[in-house]
Amino acid sequence: MPIVPLSRIATARSGDKGEGSNVGVLARSTASYVFLKRELTADRVKKHMHAINLGGVKRYEADNLRLLNFILLDSLGGGGSASLKTDAQGKTHGLAVLRMELDVPNEVLQATPEAT
């Protein structure tokens, strides 16, 4: 299985959510959604974002949007006006998650068009 960045098979948007952030990972195809629903666990995102998020990670699913929604509970250095971080709103967290490298089966890659 080839190792590819998550961005090959998904897109993402993130934003602030109290003292944490949410990262919505949107699969580029039905095949990649089925794969990610199994592989992209809350624990895997928590490990990947360990230096940014100091709290737990929760995952929600919305099949109609091919969306896995991750809540990073302590990722903003206090959140809102209390944060000293340059990204106090978690705007860049989506792209950070998309840098994750994954072993993706060839059939999933073939069923998932590349971004142009």
Check: CB of residue 37 under 8 Å from CB of residue 61: yes
Report CA-CA distances (Å) from 63 to 27, 30, 67, 114.
Answer: 10, 9, 6, 21
Answer for which of 30, 92, 107, 110 binds another protein (CB under 8 A) is 92
Distance CA 32, CA 25 (A): 11
Q: Could you say which residues in the range 5-34 bind another protein, by CB under 8 A?
A: 5, 7, 11-13, 15-19, 22, 24, 26
Chain positions contacting another protein, by CB under 8 A: 5, 7, 11-13, 15-19, 22, 24, 26, 48-52, 60-67, 69, 71, 77-82, 84-87, 91-92, 94-96, 98-101, 115-116
